Structure 1
Amino acid sequence: MKNHPLFVIFLLTIVCNIQAQISLFDNTIIHEIKISSTDSNLWQNLTDDYNNGIASDNIPYRSVTIEIDGFIMSSVGIRQKGVSSNTTVSTTKKPLKLNFGKFVDGQKYDGVKKINLGNGVGDPAIIKDKLAYNMLRYHGIPSPRVSHAKVYIQGQYWGTYALIEQIDKRYLKRNFATDNGNLWKNKGNNDLSWQGTDINNYPFELQTNEEENNWSKFIEFVNVINNSSDADFKNDLENVFHVDEYLRILAIDLLINNSDSYLERGRNWYLYHEPKSNKIHWLPWDYNLTFNRGEDGDNDFDILNSENEKILIDRVLAVPEWKGKYLNYMCEILQINMIRERLDPELDALLDLIDDDWGSTNNFFTVTDIDNAINGNTWTDNTFQEKTYQGLKKFITDRAEVVQTNITAQNHTCNPIIQSINVKDVVINEFMTSNDDGSQWVDQDNENEDWIELYNNTNFDINLTNYFLSNDNSFLHKWEFPENTIIQANSYLIIWPDKDVHQVGLHPQFKLDKDEGKLFLTHLDGSLIDAVEWDTEIAKNTSMSRFPNGTGDFQNIAVTFNAENSTLLSIKDSFTKLPFKIFPNPAKNQLNIKFKVLPISTSISIIDITGRQVYSSEIQNRALKIDISKFKSGLYIANVTNETTNFSYKLIIK
């Protein structure tokens, strides 16, 4: 048989593309990205496009074929990017941007549309972005994911790059309650001072909802920062801005000397107005010039940023409550986040990963430079600032000591972070990933949402301050329990992962996937308290439950919302074998329960929508009257149980 060249090419493409996409942000491996084009002058054309378009911020993409870890994608957009990271480089190892969906609508790789390829200017090991974003996520701040890749262009090895996730709608969907809000990128040097209501006076670009072009929330935010009176400032800013998130970002930025940010140069951040909370989030960006500190401590920021006049920082830290929280966050970061015990293994693992794959002279730092930048006392930046800085490990040690001294000088005491529970003291006990409309399991707004049930295996109440739930192993501290959330001894707590962050109660900004997913319960110090993973579809209105309750493996047994997991009959069977009436419903002052036949050992408990038990009793007679006159109005669940059955009944108390 004579092979037809086009058929062979087509067949090879099919074979390559039936391979699964390897996770782009798997940082246990060095990825390989091979860029090819029929354009023999591809690189020169990319360079010309950059030089001609950088001044007007209009650099066009060119279409190329990309192979990522063996997976081939055609018609992918590529262009050069950056400013100083591009113009100060003496080799062709320029920063790049890939746009998988530029020429093919909807085309993505591993769920992302765009990826940034950082070339390591000012960062020999190309690790500073990864390290900073890791620290931010550790303290509950959404941040881009980072991995590393060897890049080839037209068959030639181009160098090792950092792969940095783009902040766009896909990023917003993964990290926030909604992705349909307005996203602004700071495109210049800006101190957020008041420049009036004309949006052209601000160097920001609206990157979502461009047709509506609604800047009202942005103008409101800047107006509050500048023009709200001292008496009203705290309340006004809290109404429009996630202040607590910003305090954490500010603490980390100052700790790691982030000069190329709002702190000093007024650069590198996004603002996102999330519609459900109706507040603006500060999204940090571009950390390749962080962790810089001279041998004698030059380049250090004062912990109050007093040397740089930035109105947002000045006014926020002038509020005593916020200044105290900010210093507390600094204390936390120094105790559990920016510490050698946590960060050294990450630095060592990366060095082991990339030193054997460095190779080409196109990498403008040597392997020795990389080692010095991590392990040495000093290293010299010959790409950008022509300065000598401390190695990363020495920076972490020395900077922490200086900041701790500065905190003490503020007459602030750092209290130790204490983890109050052990592994499996509190467990993920039951969860439902598809709660269909009309079911009996509803939240406080009478909505059928997915739910997670925690159980306290101990005989004492547990405060869940500094504990987190997440569905993402790259962001374990995704949703933090509100301060002083209590799960009572040997009791249950219901969480509604529905992205309804604006509602009262426990509503994380993520949802559960019925087909496959993960759940993690962790502490701020990084301890894993409990976790569960599933890889098969969970049917509607069914749950996965630990059996025996609180200790066993997960099984698909009868739903026992906010009650003990057992080998119970279905709710339908329970109703048949345990007939009773609860009335009236809605009820106001008194609730009545009547049984035709009362099984032995029957009891009732009533819980409110937060999972707190407000009433419990053994049922001795076929008729029971319950005084509910002191119950608050709202939705409640009555659990009626005996030795073999369990029935959950929805109540409304007026």
Structure 2
Amino acid sequence: MEHVGNGPRRRLRHRIPVRLRQHWRLVALCTAVLGVCGGVFGSGMIRPYAVRAPAADAAAGVTVDVRGTVDLFDTSVPHELTLTFGDAAYRDMLQEYFATGEKKYIEADLVIDGTRIPSVGVRLKGNSTLNGLTWNGMVRTRQGVRQGGGPFGGFGGGVFGSSLKGEEPENLPWLISFDEFVAGRRYQGHSQIAVRPALGRSATLLNEALAIALVGESGEPGQRFTYGSFSVNGRTSGPRLIVEYLDEGYAERLGDGVLYKALASGGFDYKGEDQTRYTTDFKQVNAVGSADLQPVIDLIRWVNDASDEEFASGLADRLDVGSFARYVALQNLLLNFDDMSGPGRNYYLWYDRATRRFRVINWDLNLAFQGDPATGPHDSVRRGFGPWRPPDGQGNARTRPGEPPQGGNRTRRDPVGGGGGPRMGHPLKDRFLASRAFTAVYEEQYRALFAGLFRDGTAARLLDEIVAAYKRNAGADTATVDTEAASLRELLQARIRALASDQVVSGT
């Protein structure tokens, strides 16, 4: 089986410890009965799902692991996902989101590659992605709900969510939970998967898929992905990008440690030792009950309070410096401004119990490959929306190689944001890049990644494989994917040309 961007290091066991829930035996029995009773669903033949419940998994809280018919993240075959839920429940979900911003789960039936899975939980997913979502003549932005169209306020308004409509659920971003309403259930080892949106600015999301694949090739922890045809309540969209979610099972595959998700609403400021004060900053993913937020709080306090000398000498005791250097270098190479220092706070922290050190985990790369291809190793990645286009004969372009977007000046490690926009920057990343103690390791990792991912043709090869994976699915828009792939190839070529002569890359 072919897994785009997923080398042998990524094929790991799917043994998943999760929290026990009450009455799981009764729920598991009901789930099995429903699965056996699954018959014809929609227009195609639906297979009742096959399950396995090894004693080790059951003891850890996994009661049902649905095998399915084919590996969901095998990109060498087409996939099909079908969601069905009640109209009233969907309206209630949208009303709740527009009124409060809360994304509540509703119950739905799901069919994946012919296997019916009843009573999954589905909810909207994303922050900036949903900014500008419209429904019933209303639009929701970070400033609240307003009537009618026109320019949307707030970061991302009119850019991310402006093409998303509540009346078109088949195009919305979804988080699918297999255990929200059936405790202990997994699908091929996963408790959750994410369905990325169908956005007008990029119908295929090739940029995100390529970025995920390159992270996998780099050796850093990343995600798996695939494309699949997708329909909701009989409404069909083109192939959607399906992405592995960083859940309890993902944490188990990383080893013995604790996984923490950074929240878009939070920051990295020390607020004292009361853990309840950090609930808007981080969410603990696994080991709930046997671990807590204290390691993260300790790291936050130290990063914010340490002198420059203490930071330089003590960071390696608290953080895998080599891994972090690769993480930071990747964000620059991938032209991803919305990383841990971006407005979405898109990252996870992994705490290794044996070494007592952290690693930063890549997450949410939908804004990769949309900035200035001439951005250097020590330049900040500027925000850029929509597929990159090369300059025309008059030198007009959304972003021109060698020239900063929007007429700004690119300076060494210049700050991004300001002017009342979203909060940018991150104390850990900013201090790391500002410290001369880590310049050498950062530049060494940057050179190695550029040589192994870009200059040697790996990125171009992966892009070809991703396009082929997209085209295998029903409803594929071949003209659109070819156009977007051509634009992305031009950006890659411009990126390689610009960096090839850079002093950091050349080692001079």
Tell me which interval the TM-score lies in, with the shorter structure as reference length.
Answer: 0.5 to 0.7
* Farther-moved stretch of structure 1 (346-355 vs 220-229): 346-355
Query: After superposition, where does 1:47-196 map in structure 2 within 5 Å?
Result: 47-54=94-101, 58-86=102-130, 87=133, 88=161, 89-91=163-165, 92=168, 93-121=171-199, 122-174=201-253, 176-179=254-257, 181-188=258-265, 190=267, 192-196=268-272
State the alpha-carbon separation in 2 of the partners of residues 7 and 177 from structure 1: 34
Indicate conservation of the 8 Å contact 1:49/1:60, yes or no.
yes
Q: What's the CA shift for 1:49? A: 4.2
Q: What's the CA shift for 1:251? A: 0.2
Q: Percent identity?
A: 19
State the alpha-carbon separation in 2 of the partners of residues 90 and 215 from structure 1: 36
State the alpha-carbon separation in 2 of the partners of residues 66 and 217 from structure 1: 38
Q: What's the CA shift for 1:45? A: 4.1
Q: Which residue of 2 aligns with 1:421?
A: none
**Residue of 20, 24, 30 corresponding to 2:72:** 24
Aligned partner of 1:108: which letter? Answer: R
Q: What's the CA shift for 1:226? A: 2.0
Q: Which residue of 2 aligns with 1:325?
A: 441
Query: After superposition, where does 1:429-468 map in structure 2 within 5 Å?
Result: none
Report which of the two has the higher share of helix: 2
**Residue of 346, 355, 371 corresponding to 1:277:** 355
Structure number with bigger Rg: 1
Q: Which residue of 1 aligns with 2:485?
A: 374
Q: Which residue of 2 aligns with 1:414?
A: 507
Q: Which residue of 1 aligns with 2:154?
A: none
Change in CA separation of 1:393 and 1:189 when aligned onto 2, cut-off 3 Å: farther
State the alpha-carbon separation in 2 of the partners of residues 33 and 63 from structure 1: 16
- Superposed structure 1 runs of 4+ greater than 6 Å apart: 6-9, 300-303
* SS of residue matched to 1:108: strand
Q: What's the CA shift for 1:233? A: 1.7
Q: What's the CA shift for 1:107? A: 1.0
Q: What's the CA shift for 1:247? A: 0.5
* SS of residue matched to 1:30: coil
Indicate conservation of the 8 Å contact 1:187/1:267, yes or no.
yes
* SS of residue matched to 1:144: coil
Q: What's the CA shift for 1:8? A: 13
Structure 1 gap ranges (5+) = 1-5, 361-365, 376-390, 416-654
State the alpha-carbon separation in 1 of the partners of residues 473 and 344 from structure 2: 36
TM-score after normalising by structure 2: 0.67
Indicate conservation of the 8 Å contact 2:227/2:469, yes or no.
no
RMSD over aligned Cα, in angstroms? 3.2
Aligned partner of 2:49: which letter? Answer: N
State the alpha-carbon separation in 1 of the partners of residues 351 and 36 from structure 2: 47
Q: What's the CA shift for 1:358? A: 6.6
Q: Which residue of 2 aligns with 1:236?
A: 314
* SS of residue matched to 1:77: strand
TM-score after normalising by structure 1: 0.53
Q: CA offsets, 1:548-581, max 9 Å, x none?
A: xxxxxxxxxxxxxxxxxxxxxxxxxxxxxxxxxx
Aligned partner of 1:33: which letter? Answer: L
State the alpha-carbon separation in 2 of the partners of residues 79 and 333 from structure 1: 36
Aligned partner of 1:60: which letter? Answer: K
Aligned partner of 1:323: which letter? Answer: T
Q: What's the CA shift for 1:193? A: 4.5
Aligned partner of 2:462: which letter? Answer: E
2:458 is the counterpart of 1:393: no
Q: Which residue of 2 aligns with 1:12?
A: 39
Q: Which residue of 1 aligns with 2:431?
A: 315
* SS of residue matched to 2:186: coil
Aligned partner of 2:343: which letter? Answer: R
Q: Which residue of 2 aligns with 1:34?
A: 82
* SS of residue matched to 1:287: coil
State the alpha-carbon separation in 1 of the partners of residues 48 and 287 from structure 2: 37
* SS of residue matched to 1:238: helix
Q: What's the CA shift for 1:98? A: 0.6
Q: Which residue of 1 aligns with 2:158?
A: none
Paired positions, count: 380
Q: What's the CA shift for 1:262? A: 2.7
Change in CA separation of 1:109 and 1:266 when aligned onto 2, cut-off 3 Å: closer
Q: What's the CA shift for 1:20? A: 4.6
**Residue of 337, 343, 346 corresponding to 1:265:** 343
Indicate conservation of the 8 Å contact 1:135/1:338, yes or no.
no
Change in CA separation of 1:212 and 1:107 when aligned onto 2, cut-off 3 Å: closer
Aligned partner of 2:457: which letter? Answer: E
2:326 is the counterpart of 1:248: yes
Q: What's the CA shift for 1:402? A: 2.5
Indicate conservation of the 8 Å contact 1:189/1:265, yes or no.
no
Change in CA separation of 1:356 and 1:78 when aligned onto 2, cut-off 3 Å: same
State the alpha-carbon separation in 2 of the partners of residues 351 and 265 from structure 1: 29
Change in CA separation of 1:266 and 1:64 when aligned onto 2, cut-off 3 Å: closer
Indicate conservation of the 8 Å contact 2:227/2:242, yes or no.
yes
State the alpha-carbon separation in 2 of the partners of residues 103 and 213 from structure 1: 25
Query: After superposition, where does 1:526-537 map in structure 2 within 5 Å?
Result: none
Q: What's the CA shift for 1:137? A: 2.1
Q: Which residue of 2 aligns with 1:344?
A: 460
Aligned partner of 2:446: which letter? Answer: M
Structure 2 gap ranges (5+) = 1-32, 41-45, 51-66, 134-160, 372-397, 417-424
**Residue of 329, 342, 354 corresponding to 2:470:** 354
State the alpha-carbon separation in 1 of the partners of residues 365 and 349 from structure 2: 17
